[in-house]
Amino acid sequence: MNFQQTLDSYNLAEVEARIAAKRSADVEAALAAAHLGIDDFMALLSPAAAAYIEPMAQRAHQLTVQRFGKTILMYAPLYLSNECTNGCRYCGFNAHNKVPRRTLTLDETEAEARVLHDRGFRHLLLVTGEAPRAADTDYLTAAVARLRPLFSSISIEVYPMEESGYRQVIDAGVDGLTIYQETYDRALYAEMHPFGKKRDFAFRLRAPEHAAAAGMRRIGVGALLGLGKFRVEAFCTGLHALHLARHCWRTHLTVSFPRMRPADGGFQPLNPVSDHDFVQLICALRLLLPDAGLVLSTRESAQLRDNLLPLGITQMSAGSCTSPGGYAEKDESGRQFVIDDDRTHTEVEAMLRSRGYDPVWKDWDSAFHA
């Protein structure tokens, strides 16, 4: 059974109605449950749960401290290329956007990586658009091979691949995959992705399973918040993570909740997610998935990130730059989106320590690779 079959067994309009129909008694039952069932999860995502945001936050905090301690894994994104043949309407890399396009050479990549390495990062996230001619799997593999001595863990956030592609990058030293479905609503997905290979909803949906089959150690999923209705998107994200936990049980899971940021192209969120809704979503996901890593990027403001910290977050980026070459050359003209928390990594580190959290820079070892 693959996840698409699971997802197809739900009608999203019905899911929305079932969530909307949950009452406070359902929320209370979900808060008391040792393990959340599907209906419990729906209850925590419901409008009725808005009144329970504080007990949800307390439970989320308690579970996270129990499973992870007060630690935050630090990671940094490195943009290898912003060339892209896709037409994602919300993305700064949209092929139609007139931004300076660039794909880093191996030397430029290493220069970027050294900046991050010098800052102390040992967990790296490599990012590209989808441009088979500029940055294909062989390019990615070469970059990974070059950077591997500098980092204990290398993850990728690139276009979806077949199992064989993932095998190739894993062999080169990749241990983590981040891939957001953007929206789990097929119709909306088609509308948001008018052209390019990314139009293939099913192939993207299958990517985490391909990666797990290839032996990927860590897989991160998520929906781009601001596209579909957040309760339904959060529900599908949770369903996706649960499916992977059951079927790809050797893989460690992370979940992200990227909220749409201003980007070149000027796309406005279709369904903006308020801070309150955002907190509810994070807490509901934590209660559903006590062992999943929850990732919070610099898309969110410094103040909000500080406040979200105790609610279940286990991984953070800091001092991030979303354009290729941005770290070494300090030029952000080709960025994917505008980050919000622009504090340096040392400032974020100091904030964590002041709140009793330990920043963790290394929680993996390249020795796990053959």
Partner 1 sequence: MDTLTIANRTFRSRLMVGTGKFSSNAAMVAAMEGSGCEIVTVALRRVDVDNPHDSILTHIDREKYLLLPNTSGARDAEEAVRLARLARAAGCEPWVKLEVTPDPFYLLPDPIETLKAAEILVKDGFVVLPYINADPVLAKRLQEAGTATVMPLGAPIGTNKGVRTRDSIAIIIEQAIVPVVVDAGLGAPSHAAEAMEMGADAVLVNTALAVARDPGAMGQAFRKGVEAGREAYLAGLGRQQERAEASSPLTGFLHN
Binding residues (CB under 8 A) for partner 1: these are 1, 29, 32-35, 53-55, 57-59, 61-62, 245-247, 249, 275-276, 279, 303-304, 307, 310-311
DSSP symbol at 70: S
Q: Which is nearer to partner 1, 57 or 80 (CB)?
A: 57
Structure tokens at 339: 């980050």
Q: Which is nearer to partner 1, 148 or 343 (CB)?
A: 343
Distance from CA of residue 221 to its chain's centroid? 6
d(CA 286, CA 63): 8
Q: Which is nearer to partner 1, 200 or 275 (CB)?
A: 275
* CA 67 to each of CA 51, 289, 311, 313, 359: distance values in angstroms, whole numbers, following the listed order: 26, 11, 13, 12, 16
Q: Which is nearer to partner 1, 249 or 370 (CB)?
A: 249
Minimum distance from CB of 236 to partner 1 (Å)? Answer: 19
Q: Which is nearer to partner 1, 57 or 169 (CB)?
A: 57
Minimum distance from CB of 341 to partner 1 (Å)? Answer: 15
Q: Which is nearer to partner 1, 7 or 134 (CB)?
A: 7
Minimum distance from CB of 92 to partner 1 (Å)? Answer: 29
Of the CA atoms within 13 Å of residue 315, those in its CB half-sphere come to: 24
d(CA 247, CA 74): 28
CB 86 within 8 A of CB 96: no
CB 205 within 8 A of CB 160: no
Distance from CA of residue 34 to its chain's centroid? 26
Those residues whose C-beta lies under 8 Å from the C-beta of residue 52, and which sit 6 or more positions away, are 24, 27, 28, 31
- Residue reference for tokens 């890399």: 93
Minimum distance from CB of 310 to partner 1 (Å)? Answer: 6
Minimum distance from CB of 114 to partner 1 (Å)? Answer: 37
Minimum distance from CB of 188 to partner 1 (Å)? Answer: 28
- Residue reference for tokens 């990062």: 121
Q: Which is nearer to partner 1, 32 or 370 (CB)?
A: 32
Minimum distance from CB of 3 to partner 1 (Å)? Answer: 12
